[in-house]
Structure 1
């Protein structure tokens, strides 16, 4: 794979076509980093391939066809399916391939053991907002993956949102924080809007304002670089509405409950790796 090759000419394959694969692909296509005709996706049935066909991507039911046609291959299957998939594609993988796993809980060491010696392996964990180019992605390199392979992955993912290389030990934490954390935020947004509905605001308007509130708060953290605790304090005035609301959240154990959720999801990701 030539380092000077334009990303738009890069042939990229996906083994697996579930929601996460579709989200990553849509983010990549929206960014213009790759062309739909240069994408080949495999899945056992047509159930998840129809939408990708509609986007102009090529599809197949054969995993080996993906590996033979594409030098950069994303493994986007369920974790328990990974061993069978790697056994299937083993003979088709060459030293030129870059294999990128998105499977939660499957460590790099396991991937390298199940692939030919010397295979360039990276492990990444995205989250679903990659589909709207506002995702959070972390990745780690295997023993044979170098800076060139890391740069290819960053190039493909950078327009999908935040993309950071980290130690592999952070990936399961990221799963609990951001991969699963999206659902925590949706639940919080729902609760915010429900509170407004209870007080008399129409549901559609309440949902819209709740979403905009979360978006604005997140942008302030990213753009100011301030700790969330400082920004929270900035909103509070003595005897004002916010401190009364925060007191109720503290009584409900919001912070401890969210911390417990991250811990539980991280633990589950680690358990999946052991299995």
Structure 2
């Protein structure tokens, strides 16, 4: 800690990061936020006691700038703040698909940059952020981004060539899980369960299974086999899922997400 961090574009993800940082010992004085709407700024000041200003002012006084806007807004924000950055200011982008090469090209020569792919469970402190360093970012600077993102979950460092693939798993992954929960709820309703009961059962089953996998560290196949008695109900259900191509569907889906991330970057 000790760095002055500016969050430009404090939407749901930016606000989650701010909340997590404050909960992990960062001081309100360590943070400055930049948002467009004054009513949003007022709400952030009231909720977190942090300074909220415009993007130029926030970037000019920061040691680290987190750019939390949509991919199509990144270029405009960088063009705006670039001339105001102090030498050595670290810039981290949270936008899907935007490469470190693109970030460096849009900023003053030698600016250290980091590409970050967070996911929505960061809003409840259970996220995962995939980070990759740019050409001018050293280990100490990457560690600063690691520390920031650790406030809302775990951090995984990967070579940038794997960023699009990693984002297809963790960045888009929550949507796959939500779809699976939704499908399981509908299945329960079709079996005669009240919707509220089916929802409780499905959501807590995903929570519990994920926690079991995380805390035991055992391979998912081992955990699955423990639930599956030969000739039992689970075996019958899994046979249907395999026959209908569940694994192939996941492979195709994540490939599509990876390819779309590359297209956005291009």
Whether these two folds match at TM > 0.5 is yes
Cross-structure match for 1:23: 16
Cross-structure match for 1:126: 118
Distance 1:161 1:257 in 2: 28
For residues 200-242 of structure 1, the C-alpha deviation after alignment (integer angstroms, 9 at most, x for no partner) is 3332232222122112222222223222222212211111110
Cross-structure match for 1:249: 241
Deviation at 1:50, TM superposition (A): 5.0
Cross-structure match for 1:224: 216
* SS of equivalent to 2:33: strand
Deviation at 1:252, TM superposition (A): 2.4
Cross-structure match for 1:52: 44
Superposed counterparts of 1:254-273, under 5 Å: 254-273=246-265
Q: What is the Cα-based RMSD across aligned positions, in Å? A: 1.8
Choose which of 109, 113, 132 in structure 2 pairs with 1:117.
109
TM-score (norm 2): 0.92
Superposed counterparts of 1:148-227, under 5 Å: 148-227=140-219
Task: Report the count of equivalent residues.
Answer: 265
TM-score (norm 1): 0.90
Cross-structure match for 1:4: none
Q: Which moved more, 1:175-184 or 1:49-58?
A: 49-58
Unaligned runs of 5+ in 2: none
Distance 2:209 2:240 in 1: 20
Unaligned runs of 5+ in 1: 1-6
Q: Which moved more, 1:264-273 or 1:200-209?
A: 200-209
Could you tell me whether the CA contact under 8 Å between 1:12 and 1:71 is conserved in 2? yes
Cross-structure match for 2:79: 87
Structure 1 residues 211 and 54, CA gap change in structure 2 (3 angstroms): farther
Could you tell me whether the CA contact under 8 Å between 2:17 and 2:151 is conserved in 1? no
